[in-house]
């Protein structure tokens, strides 16, 4: 009889992962206490009047760490938002930033609302009011705390936050850096919208470059032959599917809130994206069988399972049904601590959330840099690079009797655009981070990649806290 873990909260699960890393790496217990403590949590209850009725909106912003500033993390709109969840997510943000080496502390915020219940104008009103409440309390500024989109929010909400913040701080020349994940017209960066999904894809590609690791788990080394199932088709799930499809990977199952689509031959992802755009949901997609229970997507037989929805999807009660050889956590906290232990016993490797989905915050860092430096990446050197390429082609043509093909000329005479630079930075980030995780795991013979990832983050925090003083 397996013990149920449904009583363990998300925050307690994160704490158990911290304990495991502290224990396996022999880090001092004092560091564990420091790392677990969320530095501050603001709870705000503000009234709004909508359709003649007064409602109280509950919101939180948790700042887990300020060892680097600003603190960074998304803003979630969901009926299930609560303080425990926001604190857990803020801790994950601290660890993520450490792992992908961006100089941010960790934070997370949320409003306990069902965004589908409100009109666009009402959501704008609620978002701007929340922004004012946070700004008034000294949270929220380009140098202190910088939100980004998360579940239930998007570029649209970020634009509203910029607008509200700017009206309160017209003197702040860096106002656009108060949030990341903005629309391009308001200081966003090309590639941020797709960044988390692309980062998940990069994490997988990097894993498949390490034959020694694949062997330990009996995983077929050909990335292109993998069969994938994805739980969740929001921004992260969708862009993960898109990136995998560009690599020719077969995705047999995709789910979202209303149910799942299964097609043994592989789902045409571009058609599915178009279908969702046209119909607002994947329900009724003709090329596959539909199952009303989206959770079944977690148990489809596949090589790679990608949970890309919410926390605690795989728990002790259902972990036995997982039928994949590798799991990549595109969502935050999709596997409970105890379920994780079972998966380790079954020798199923997991690329953990704090690494696999950290592409989002990495590209947020690039956006923030763009905003505070007030210049588009590549603007200063794109044409210079292009001209250098042209000079090289001319020299080769002068000294050689062979002609360079037009295709090669185009490749050489090319200056990197903003999106190229962002994607190159993202790829580099994800590659280096995995190598560090792998090295630490092997050096200390740790249980799994997650323990190693937590270990890297905790060791960095330990160093920073000890150097700065408590």
Where along the sequence are the contacts to ligand GLU (CB under 6 A)? 72-74, 148, 150, 180, 332, 357, 360-361, 364
**Which residue, 74 or 259, has its beta carbon nearer to ligand GLU?**
74
Q: Is 49 a catalytic residue?
A: no
Residue 146: in which H helix or E strand, if any?
A: strand 145-149
The alpha carbon of residue 254 and the mean position of all alpha carbons in its chain are separated, in whole angstroms, by: 18
Q: Tell me the C-alpha distance between 142 and 343, whole Å.
A: 41
**Rounded distance between C-alpha atoms, residue 43 and residue 47, angstroms:** 13
Q: Are 419 and 426 in contact (CB under 8 A)?
A: no
Pairing type for strands 259-262 and 227-231 reads: unpaired
Half-sphere exposure of 57 (CA within 13 A, CB side): 27
For residue 68, the minimal CB distance to ligand GLU (Å) is: 13
Considering the complex, what minimum distance in angstroms separates the CB of residue 394 from ligand GLU?
43
Q: Which of 96, 108, 250, 325 is catalytic?
A: 108
d(Cα 249, Cα 5) in Å, to the nearest integer? 34
What is the smallest separation between the CB atom of 422 and ligand GLU, expressed in angstroms? Answer: 13
Residue 436 in tokens: 């560090």
Of 370, 335, 368, 338, the residue nearest 354 (C-alpha): 335
Q: Considering the complex, what minimum distance in angstroms separates the CB of residue 149 from ligand GLU?
A: 6
- In whole angstroms, the minimum distance from the beta carbon of 73 to ligand GLU comes to 5
Taking CB positions, which residue lies at the least distance from ligand GLU? Answer: 74
Q: Count of CB atoms within 10 A of residue 43's CB?
A: 11
The DSSP bridge partners found for residue 59 are 44, 111
User: Which residues, 6+ apart, have CB-to-CB distance to 432 below 8 Å?
Assistant: 101
User: Given the complex with ligand GLU, which of 133 and 150 has the nearer CB atom?
Assistant: 150
Active-site positions? 108
């Amino acid at each position: 009889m397996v013990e149920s873990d449904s009583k363990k909260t998300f925050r307690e699960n994160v704490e158990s992962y911290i304990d495991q890393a502290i224990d396996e790496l022999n880090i001092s217990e004092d560091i564990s206490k420091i790392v677990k403590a969320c530095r501050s949590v603001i709870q705000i209850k503000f009234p709004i009047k909508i359709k003649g009725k007064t409602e109280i909106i509950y919101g939180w912003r948790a700042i887990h760490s300020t060892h680097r500033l600003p603190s960074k993390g998304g803003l979630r709109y969901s009926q299930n938002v609560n303080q425990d969840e926001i604190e857990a997510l803020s801790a994950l943000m601290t660890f993520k930033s450490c792992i992908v080496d961006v100089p941010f502390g960790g934070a997370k915020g949320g409003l306990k609302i069902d965004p589908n219940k409100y009109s666009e104008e009402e959501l704008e009103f609620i978002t701007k009011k929340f922004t004012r409440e946070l700004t008034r309390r000294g949270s929220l500024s380009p140098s202190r705390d910088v939100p980004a989109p998360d579940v239930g929010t998007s570029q649209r909400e970020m634009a509203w936050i910029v607008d509200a913040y700017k009206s309160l701080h017209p003197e702040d020349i860096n106002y656009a850096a108060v949030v990341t994940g903005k629309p391009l017209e308001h200081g966003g960066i090309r590639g941020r919208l797709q960044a988390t999904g692309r980062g998940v894809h990069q994490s997988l590609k990097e894993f498949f470059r390490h034959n020694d690791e694949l062997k330990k788990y009996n995983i077929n080394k050909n990335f292109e032959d993998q069969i994938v199932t994805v739980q969740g088709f929001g921004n992260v799930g969708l862009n993960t599917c898109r990136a995998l499809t560009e690599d020719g990977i077969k995705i047999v199952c995709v789910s979202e809130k209303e149910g799942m689509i299964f097609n043994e031959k592989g789902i045409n992802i571009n058609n599915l994206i178009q279908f969702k755009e046209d119909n607002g949901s994947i329900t009724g997609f003709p090329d596959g069988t539909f199952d009303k229970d989206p959770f079944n997507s977690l148990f489809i037989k596949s090589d790679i399972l990608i949970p890309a929805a919410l926390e605690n999807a795989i728990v002790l009660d259902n972990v036995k049904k997982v039928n994949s050889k590798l799991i990549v956590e595109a969502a935050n906290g999709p596997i409970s601590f105890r379920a994780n232990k079972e998966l380790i016993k079954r020798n199923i490797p997991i690329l953990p959330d704090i690494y696999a989905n950290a592409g989002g915050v990495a590209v947020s860092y690039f956006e923030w840099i763009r905003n505070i430096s007030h210049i588009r990446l590549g603007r200063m050197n794109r044409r210079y690079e292009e001209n250098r390429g042209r000079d090289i082609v001319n020299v080769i043509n002068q000294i050689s009797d062979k002609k360079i093909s037009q295709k090669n000329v185009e490749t050489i005479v090319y200056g990197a655009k903003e999106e190229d630079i962002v994607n190159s930075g993202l790829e580099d980030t994800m590659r280096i981070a995995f190598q560090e995780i792998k090295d630490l795991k092997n050096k200390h013979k740790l249980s799994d990649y997650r323990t190693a990832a937590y270990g890297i983050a905790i060791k960095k925090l330990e160093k920073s806290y000890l150097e700065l003083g408590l």
